[in-house]
Amino acid sequence: MPRLVMKFGGTSVADLERIRAAAVKIKREVDRGYQVIVVVSAMSGETNRLVGLVDQASMGADAKTPGFFDAREYDAVVASGELVTSGLLAVVLQEMGIQARSWQGWQVPVNTTDDHGAARIESIPSDNLDAKFAEDMEVAVIAGFQGVAPDGRVTTLGRGGSDTTAVAFAAALNAERCDIYTDVDGIYTTDPRITAKARKLERIAFEEMLELASLGAKVLQTRSVELAMRNRVRLQVLSSFNDEPGTLVCAEEEIMESNVVTGVACSRDEAKMTLISVADRPGIAAAIFTPLADAGVIVDMIVQNISEDGRTDMTFSCPVADVPRAEKALEDAKARGEFNYRELDKDTDVAKVSIVGIGMRSHAGVAQKMFKNLADDGVNIKVITTSEIKVSVLVDRKYMELTVQSLHDAFELERTA
């Protein structure tokens, strides 16, 4: 029998009414002849409640001083939320006459590394599930987000880890597809709040989805898309709250014809920082970006100017929230004599706009068309970076919506290919 993985996130199992709605969708797939593996998150709010309890527990006796705590205990506590949802969904399915049972991470087992709080799945032996499917099980309800370390302690995969759980099960159990039910109904050509012309995509390639995910389209956890791409798991993103078809994330070959540009992404709260007049010597980039990484600054775009008289300017972008940490890290490193610069220029008023599309590989002039479009709108480009299937620019934040709308029109994204 063909197998299907269905994943329901926290808002899709927030209460018993929603759990029942999920069960109706599951029953439909059982009736279609699938053996179904369901992966569930904790009821929304529950993980935060548990994390809050651990945080409080780790405070000193004055209940104020944050203390050290063992990530293994964090995992033991926080993973309990999914146990509740998986058991409840199994009960609801049974009540509907379906042979369902819950599986805790260690029961499957979902073998992970021992990186507690951010473990990686190493293997999911399918023997136990295969045996139960061979008996009478119609639906296996898996507690997402968790696994078991080599020493038998409970692990969690990090926030959003249930998407990764779902994809890993789809790969391990040879599922035909992995359906991710969420509170949006698919992947759009751009944020529908910015332009009403945004169109839901029928299909999108893994590579494009990865670029969009890393650009801030928070529908799928980046790791889960990587895992799906590596294992050729067809992912579908669709809504828990209606019965519309969603968006299929799949291999490039499965997409017959596509627009040159598939989507326009944007990210509002960016900052641009420039170190003016840095000595242009081998190792200078490492010298600058090591202290930034150590300080936890998420550096995105990096541009180095043409060198003149042995000195250059180094520009990078990062989230606005990271700017104070970045400044301190750079000044401290300068004070330690690790490198020198004349001036540190900050612009905390920029946004990033990107066009993404696998069609760009075979079409010349896409970047040029983008730049011309911005020039026609009178928008100044502050930084440019490109990859094989993406062009990103930094622009003044006030032009972000204008730029997105204008590019969406220019590349005719409201039209299907």
**How many residues does this entry show for the chain?**
417
Total residues contacting a copy of itself by CB under 8 A comes to 45
Residue 73 CB, nearest approach to a copy of itself (Å): 5
Sequence-distant (≥ 6) Cβ neighbours of residue 256 within 8 angstroms? none
* 127 scored as a contact of a copy of itself (CB under 8 A): no
Residue 183 CB, nearest approach to a copy of itself (Å): 22
Q: Angle, to 10 degrees, between the axis of helix 71-78 and the axis of helix 80-95?
A: 20
3-state SS assignment for residue 85:
helix
Q: Which is nearer to a copy of itself, 46 or 185 (CB)?
A: 46
d(CA 143, CA 150): 19
- Only one residue has tokens 């600058």, namely 288
Q: Which is nearer to a copy of itself, 137 or 413 (CB)?
A: 137
d(CA 58, CA 407): 49
* 56 scored as a contact of a copy of itself (CB under 8 A): yes
Which region among 151-159, 189-197, 215-223, 306-314 touches a copy of itself (by CB under 8 A)? Answer: 151-159
DSSP 121: E
- Residue type at 66 in one-letter notation: P
The only residue of 22, 26, 90, 391 in contact with a copy of itself, by rule CB under 8 A: 90
Which region among 86-94, 272-280, 303-311, 313-321 touches a copy of itself (by CB under 8 A)? Answer: 86-94
The only residue of 44, 51, 72, 396 in contact with a copy of itself, by rule CB under 8 A: 72
* 140 scored as a contact of a copy of itself (CB under 8 A): no
The only residue of 4, 14, 26, 83 in contact with a copy of itself, by rule CB under 8 A: 83
Residue 317 CB, nearest approach to a copy of itself (Å): 38
d(CA 102, CA 100): 7
Nearest alpha carbon to residue 30 among 121, 81, 93: 93
Nearest alpha carbon to residue 190 among 160, 222, 220, 215: 215
The only residue of 50, 51, 118, 323 in contact with a copy of itself, by rule CB under 8 A: 50
Q: Which is nearer to a copy of itself, 10 or 263 (CB)?
A: 10
Nearest alpha carbon to residue 250 among 333, 196, 178, 356: 178
Q: Which is nearer to a copy of itself, 92 or 248 (CB)?
A: 92
- Only one residue has tokens 């880890």, namely 161
DSSP string, 284-316: HHHHHHHHHHHTT-----EEEPPPBTTEEEEEE
> What are the Cα distances from residue 386, in Å, to 14, 67, 206, 271, 394?
40, 43, 18, 18, 12
* 197 scored as a contact of a copy of itself (CB under 8 A): no
- Percent of the chain that is helix, strand, coil (3-state, to 5): 40, 25, 35
* 63 scored as a contact of a copy of itself (CB under 8 A): yes
* 325 scored as a contact of a copy of itself (CB under 8 A): no
Q: Look at strands 177-182 and 235-239 and give their pairing.
A: parallel
Q: Which is nearer to a copy of itself, 105 or 263 (CB)?
A: 105
Which region among 146-154, 268-276, 291-299, 374-382 touches a copy of itself (by CB under 8 A)? Answer: 146-154
* 67 scored as a contact of a copy of itself (CB under 8 A): yes
* 154 scored as a contact of a copy of itself (CB under 8 A): yes
Residue 28 CB, nearest approach to a copy of itself (Å): 14
The only residue of 28, 32, 48, 59 in contact with a copy of itself, by rule CB under 8 A: 59
How many Cβ atoms from other residues are within 10 Å of residue 253's Cβ?
7
* 44 scored as a contact of a copy of itself (CB under 8 A): no
- CA angle at residue 362 from 357 to 367, to 5 degrees? 60
Q: In this structure, what are the phi and psi dihedrals at residue 170, rounded to the nearest 5 degrees?
A: -60, -40
The only residue of 11, 44, 58, 304 in contact with a copy of itself, by rule CB under 8 A: 58
The only residue of 16, 285, 323, 402 in contact with a copy of itself, by rule CB under 8 A: 16
* 76 scored as a contact of a copy of itself (CB under 8 A): yes
Q: Are 315 and 365 in contact (CB under 8 A)?
A: no
The long-range contacts involving 364-369, CB below 8 angstroms and separated by at least 24 positions, are 366/260, 366/261, 366/391, 367/391, 369/410, 369/411
The only residue of 77, 276, 303, 367 in contact with a copy of itself, by rule CB under 8 A: 77
Which region among 103-111, 168-176, 231-239, 260-268 touches a copy of itself (by CB under 8 A)? Answer: 103-111
* 106 scored as a contact of a copy of itself (CB under 8 A): yes
DSSP 105: G
* 114 scored as a contact of a copy of itself (CB under 8 A): no
**Contacting residues toward a copy of itself, per CB under 8 A:** 16-17, 19-20, 50, 53-54, 56-61, 63, 67-70, 72-74, 76-77, 79-80, 83-84, 86-92, 94-96, 101-102, 104, 106-107, 152-154
